[in-house]
Amino acid sequence: MARSNDELEQFAYVVTHDLKESLSAINSFVQLLKKYCDHQLDDRADELILHVITGISRMQMLTDDLLTYTQVNANQTFTEVDCERLLGNVLTDLSIIVSECNAIITHDRLSVARGTPFQFIQLLTNLINDALKFQRAQPSKIHIGVKESFCEWILSVTDNGIGIGEQYLERIFRVSQRLHSRREYAGTGIGLAICKKVVEYHGGRIWIQSEPNVGSAAYFTIPKFN
Ligand SMILES: Nc1ncnc2c1ncn2[C@@H]1O[C@H](COP(=O)(O)OP(=O)(O)O)[C@@H](O)[C@H]1O
Ligand SMILES: [Mg+2]
C-alpha cells in the first residue's frame, strides 16, 4: 500500500512537472503571438488571445500547487525552526496584500519547533492567505495564536471572515474542494490539502472551527519531540 502510494505520488510529480514545462512553452508562444500581432488583429481575436493567457496562468497556478502537494513527502530534513522569525518573514512577504485587504494581524510569540522551514512557510502562508481572502467585516482581524501542551504546540489562525458551514469542515481539506466559484474568490482549492499533508508529515493534526458570518479558526499541532 505504502509502495503503491509512493509510486502514484512519483507518477503525479513527473506528469505535473512535464505539464508545467509544456505550459511554459505554450505561454512563451502565445506571448510572442500577442506581441507580433499587436494592432493587426480585430478585437475578437485580441480577446481570444487574452482568454488563452488567462487560462494558461490559471493552469500554471494549478501545476505549481500540485507540484507542492506531491513534493511534501519527498525526503525533507527536519531542522530547528525559529517559528517567530519565520512568521515575521511570512508577514513581510504578505504585507502588500495585508494592507490592500485593510487587515490587522496580531500574533502570540511563537517558539522553536522541529520541522522543514519551507513547509512551515507554505502552511502559514496558505492559512493567512485564506483568512485574508475570505474576509467579511472591515477591518479584517487575524490572529495567529499558540498554546502548549506537554507534548505539542497548538497553533491557530483565527479570522473574522465569512465563515464555513459545519457540513463543509472536513471536505475542504480534499484536493480541489472549494465552496465558491473562481469568479467570487480566486484559488485552486489545493491550499488546505497542502496544509493537511504538511501537518501530517510533521506528525500533527489540523482542523477548522467556524461559524458562518462570524469567522473561522484553523488549528494545527506540531509535536515537540520530532
Ligand atoms: N478562512 C476561511 N474562511 C472561509 N472559508 C475558508 C477559509 N479557508 C478556507 N475556506 C474554504 O475552504 C475552501 C478550500 O480552501 P483552499 O484549499 O485553501 O482553496 P482556495 O483558497 O484555493 O479556494 C475555500 O475555497 C473556502 O471555500
Ligand atoms: Mg487557500
pLDDT tens figures, 120-130:
999 999 999 99
More confident residue, 106 or 187: 106
More confident residue, 9 or 89: 89
Distances from the Cα of 87 to the Cα of 79, 118, 191, 196, angstroms: 16, 12, 18, 19
| Per-residue pLDDT, 39 | 84
Q: Is the CB of 182 under 6 A from ligand 1?
A: no
| Per-residue pLDDT, 197 | 96
Q: Is the CB of 191 under 6 A from ligand 1?
A: yes
Sign of the alpha-carbon dihedral angle for 8, 130, 58, 60: negative
Query: What is the share, in percent, of the chain residues with pLDDT greater than 90?
Result: 81
Residue 166 half-sphere exposure, CB side, CA atoms within 13 Å? Answer: 0
Ligand nearest to the Cα of 179, by number: 1
Residue 3, pLDDT > 80, answer no
- Per-residue DSSP letter, 110: P
Q: How far apart are CA 117 and CA 77, in angstroms?
A: 10
Residue 104, pLDDT > 90, answer yes
Work out the average pLDDT over 105-116.
Answer: 96
Residue 1, pLDDT > 90, answer no
pLDDT in tens, 27-36: 999 999 999 9
Work out the average pLDDT over 148-158.
Answer: 96
| Per-residue pLDDT, 169 | 96
| Per-residue pLDDT, 8 | 83
Whether residue 113 contacts residue 152, with contact meaning beta carbons closer than 8 Å, is answered with: no
Q: Is the CB of 212 under 6 A from ligand 1?
A: no
pLDDT in tens, 61-77: 999 999 999 999 887 88
Q: Is the CB of 178 under 6 A from ligand 1?
A: yes
Residue 201, pLDDT > 90, answer yes
| Per-residue pLDDT, 142 | 98
Residue 198 half-sphere exposure, CB side, CA atoms within 13 Å? Answer: 23
| Per-residue pLDDT, 215 | 97
pLDDT band for position 24 (50/70/90)? very high
Residue 10, pLDDT > 90, answer no
Backbone angles phi, psi at 27, to 5 degrees: -60, -45
Residue 2, pLDDT > 90, answer no
| Per-residue pLDDT, 176 | 84
Could you give the 3-state DSSP secondary structure of residue 205? coil
Q: How far apart are CA 209 and CA 217, in angstroms?
A: 5
Nine-digit cell string for 144: 495567529
Work out the average pLDDT over 35-48.
Answer: 90
Nearest alpha carbon, ligand 1 atom 1: 131
Q: How far apart are CA 35 and CA 59, in angstroms?
A: 21
pLDDT band for position 225 (50/70/90)? confident
